[in-house]
Amino acid sequence: MWQQLLKEIQQGNSKALARTISLVENEFENYFDFLQMLPVSSAKIIGITGPPGAGKSTLTDALIGEMIAQDKRVGILCVDPSSPFNLGALLGDRIRMSEWYNHPDVFIRSLATRGSLGGLHPKILEIADVMKAANFDFIIIETVGVGQSEVEIAGLADATVVVVVPEAGDEVQTMKAGLMEIADIFVVNKADRPDADVFVKNLRTILTPAHKTGIPVIKTIASRKEGIQELFEKITDQLQITASTDRKYFLMAERAYQLIEQYRMKDISKEELRKEIESKQNLNLYQFIQQYFN
């Protein structure tokens, strides 16, 4: 079954891709053996993150249009907040991207965070690698936008785009959110709003001392497709830098670390830990966790 699915995915079968993602997401029998069958891919991952309301979905939609205009194949993973009741995606497939659903060179999939604290799906690494097997030129991952934990995207994306808006407030607060450390490119979206130019100027001033090379700051109005071509050019430049520097090895090491951590912790339940701790008196936590080191 798995070999047939892989063959169909490589042939561009979107139904096979959707089914395989579901099987991997739910850890269907022998799914890890399938993951080991995946070929090495040159597809690049673009992370789009930032605070809620910044217009990430509209920007992603505009980027898809720019990529398609250049004859590229694009896969999109939209990571949505989970319902606390059934762990399903609250937003579902993005309405703003509806024009691309039936396009032969575009594949869109929504994923729920399932309570993951990092704002990403717990199987995001595996699902992204399955997407790479489908021979997309680019894979865009749009994250929930949950503040400081957005740093998780930095270990996954070859280029990370942070989207903010002019009224985002004090630029120092933006720095405190952890976004300065992970951004390869800043986008000031809705740049037709008041004080946008002042915000961009201040942002560039803050970024320059911390980064000798300077992080690009691009103004866009995604709803009008303005600034999108320049943004795509900057993304392409960043992907070339990543491919020719130690960054790619850092990324692979980060992904390997996350996968090892995930699989080693697989059989440990916080709820079971709580029950066991609750049953003990005068607990020394370090003595307690020693049993898990063997």
The per-residue pLDDT string of the chain (294 residues; one tens digit each, 9 = 90 and over) reads 999 999 999 999 999 999 999 999 999 999 999 999 999 888 999 999 888 788 898 999 999 999 999 999 999 998 875 443 344 444 444 555 667 878 999 999 988 755 444 456 678 889 999 999 999 999 999 886 644 445 566 678 899 998 988 876 555 455 555 666 778 899 999 999 988 898 888 888 877 665 546 789 999 999 999 999 999 999 999 998 877 777 778 878 888 888 898 888 888 888 899 999 999 888 888 888 888 886
- CATH match of 38-245 with 3.40.50.300: yes
- What's the pLDDT score for residue 114? 52
Query: So what's the pLDDT on residue 18?
Result: 95
Which single residue is written with the structure tokens 């943004």? 231
CATH 3.40.50.300 residue ranges in the chain? 38-245
Sign of torsion over alpha carbons 78, 81, 86, 90: negative
Q: Are strands 138-142 and 159-164 parallel, antiparallel or unpaired?
A: unpaired
Length of the chain: 294
Count other C-beta atoms under 10 Å from residue 124's C-beta. 23
For residues 183 and 153, is the Cβ–Cβ distance under 8 A? no
CA dist., res. 145 & res. 131, Å (int): 22
Predicted pLDDT of residue 219: 96
| Residue-level pLDDT at 177 | 54
Rounded Cα distance between 207 and 147, Å, is 19
Short-list 16, 12, 11, CA closest to 1: 16
What the block records as the tokens of 169 is 């407030």
**Distance from C-alpha of 44 to C-alpha of 135, rounded to nearest angstrom:** 10
Cβ–Cβ < 8 Å for 189, 76 = no
